[in-house]
Amino acid sequence: MHEYSLAAALLDALRERLRERPVPGRVRKVHLRQGELLVLSQEALREAWRILTEGTELSGTELAIETVPVRVKCPACGYRGDARYLTEEGWHFKAPILSCPHCGGIVEIEQGRDLAIVALTVEEDGQGANR
CB of 25 to other proteins, least distance (A): 8
CB of 69 to other proteins, least distance (A): 14
Please identify, using beta-carbon distances, which residue of 17 and 131 lies nearer to other proteins. 17
- Which residues of the chain form contacts with other proteins (CB under 8 A)? 1-2, 5-6, 9-10, 13-14, 17, 23, 28, 31, 37-40, 86, 90-93, 95-99, 104, 106, 113-124
Please identify, using beta-carbon distances, which residue of 78 and 118 lies nearer to other proteins. 118
CB of 131 to other proteins, least distance (A): 14
| DSSP codes of every residue in the chain | --HHHHHHHHHHHHHHHHHHS--SSEEEEEEEEEETTS---HHHHHHHHHHHHTTSTTTTPEEEEEEE--EEE-TTT--EEEPEEE--TT-SS-EEE-B-TTT--B-EEEES--EEEEEEEEE--SS-TT-
Please identify, using beta-carbon distances, which residue of 81 and 101 lies nearer to other proteins. 101
